[in-house]
Amino acid sequence: MATLADPTWVKYWIELGDVHILDPRPPAQYAEGHLPGAVNLPLERILNAGGFLLPVSRMAQAFGEAGLDESKRSLVYDAADGRRGAMMAWVLEYLGRGEVALCALLYEGWARQGFVVSTEPVTPQPRQFQAAVSPGKRITLEELRAGEDVKLLDLRSPEERRDAGGSLPGSINLPWTELLGSDDYLLGSDTDLWLRMKALGMSRMDTVAAYSATGLSASIGYQALKRAGCGARLLDLGPGS
């Protein structure tokens, strides 16, 4: 399961050399500065042209080429709105990666707070990444139609929902941007996230399926639901689902 990691822990792991760090940003952003030791694995390497997941074997190959195996914990971080990092952390969970951390502090905050950054590119040593899919992290429309007992959380903006013709029946609407933190932190506090979910009628006994157009925005909802103590899954709206 992916956990949100405080930057002081991230700094400690980097100093120990006890972490595989993935940077899911575009190469140009990575080249401008990144966490020491971070390998650039743009999110697009594990998505198809429509923004949906590649087959498991292709994703496992990409992670293996980025140097991931079971020898160390995996850490993902991001910049800007954090969606790439949240999505990559979810994918690692989905592929059965045991120890995954998502940096709570965005890259801009990491640099502003004086933590060490690097502009030296890191060339990874390819390794064998063994995927063991965890189906409980994901849910399909077919499973919903079959009566799977989940609540639906639509993370799209009002404009996106309008352009798409509305939400799935029974959905709770919560724009993903309302879950973001302040002062360069990815998410709001655990207490704030829980109170927001509670106000929307969710409990810690619920399993909630987060969705958006491709899952990118929904991954923020997924991470926030977990921090709030709710069960969370991503709803697959891809072709054929």
Query: What pLDDT is recorded for position 239?
Result: 58
Q: Which two tokens stand for residue 89?
A: 């952390």
Please, what are the domains in the chain?
A: 2-112 (3.40.250.10), 135-236 (3.40.250.10)
Please report the pLDDT score of residue 115 as a whole number: 98
What pLDDT sits at residue 240?
45
Is the pTM higher than 0.85? The answer reads yes
What's the pLDDT at 241?
43
Could you state, in chain order, the average pLDDT of each consecutive group of 10 residues for the chain (241 residues)? 92 95 98 98 95 95 96 95 98 94 98 98 96 95 90 96 94 97 97 97 96 95 96 83 43
